[in-house]
Chains A and B, each alone.
Chain A
Amino acid sequence: MILKIALFWIFALAALWGAVSVVVAKHPLRAALGLLLCFFSLGVIYIVLDASFLGIAQIIVYAGGITVFILMAISLLGLKWIPGDRDLSPRGFFSILITLAALFGVLGVLLFARFPSNRVSDVNAAALGQVLLGPFLLAFELASVILVIGMVAAVALTRGRREE
């Protein structure tokens, strides 16, 4: 139990560090590596919180797939630091105020929330499959449709214009 709590806090700090470095980084590659740290730490946190299948899926899909995808896009397009990327106008400072106000508002609500305490055991892949192919069957099929639409849209958007 003490090991779980220690792991949670260590990787929670790592995830926060990664997230903050995404927001403040100058070069997009640094931001993508911060994102990798954030995703990997969240995967470990999922495993600590009794969601071992999703933790592994998080590391494979996000850390292994999406981050590499973003890194490839940054390298291929040669994206770099744009002067004035950080919004230091009054609008930018307003965004800081709005974010902090919303954060403390919702955290205040959370302080008074009541949660039930049920006995939780780890959900393995078989139990997850029972739920996904049982009550969540329609959502599961729709997710596959959304993936196909996303794939077709990505190809259609990036394809060069046809010569006429």
Chain B
Amino acid sequence: MSPQIVIGFALILFFIGVFGVLFRKSAIFTLMSLEITLNAACLALIGAFGAWGSPSAQATVALVMAVAAAEVAIGLALIVVMARHEDVTLDAFTSLSREKEEK
């Protein structure tokens, strides 16, 4: 499989994710679209591995997976906080501080 095809496919997937981040207002959809962009970046690294053949690319993908797991944990925790305020759109939610909670 030529690396150009793999990286081109990863680009299409990446921009689908970017479009999701820009187009949806609900936080859970934004989080899922972000996951798609991260996976597309991993796929581009695997495509580069197909061209250069160095195992460093695969080690980077393994590290990206660990960081993505932490990112999902914090993202879902924020969505839980947002759901407690009964509004899960990104436009309405700007503050984590206490003054906002007391309103």
Interfacial residues, chain A to chain B (CB-CB below 8 A): 4-5, 8, 12, 15-16, 19-20, 22-23, 25, 28, 31-32, 35, 38-39, 42, 45-46, 48-51, 53-54, 57-58, 61-62, 65-66, 69-70, 73-74, 77, 79, 82, 84-87, 92, 95-96, 98-100, 102-103, 106-107, 110-111, 113, 115-121, 123, 127-128, 130-132, 135-136, 139-140, 143-144, 146-147, 149-151, 153-155, 157-158
Contact = CB atoms under 8 A, between A and B. Distances in A.
Given A15-B13, A22-B32, A61-B65, A117 B25 contact: no
Interface of B: 1-4, 6-9, 11-13, 15-20, 22-26, 28-29, 31-33, 35-36, 39, 42-43, 46-47, 49-53, 55-56, 58-63, 65-74, 76-81, 83, 88-89
Contact of B76 (A19, A69, A98): A69
B39 A62 contact: yes
Nearest to A144: B66
Contacts of A135: 56
A135 B73 CA distance: 28
B53 A85 contact: no
B55 A23 contact: no
Most buried by A among B25, B61, B77: B77
B31 to A, nearest CB: 7
Nearest to B24: A85
Contacts of B6: 49
Nearest to A115: B51
A96 to B, nearest CB: 7
Nearest to A19: B16
Given A66-B68, A110-B11, A120-B49, A19 B59 contact: no
Contacts of B63: 136, 139-140, 143
Contacts of B31: 70
A97 to B, nearest CB: 10
A102 B18 contact: yes
Nearest to A32: B32
Contacts of A110: 4, 7-8, 11
Given A65-B69, A131-B59, A158-B81, A46 B46 contact: yes
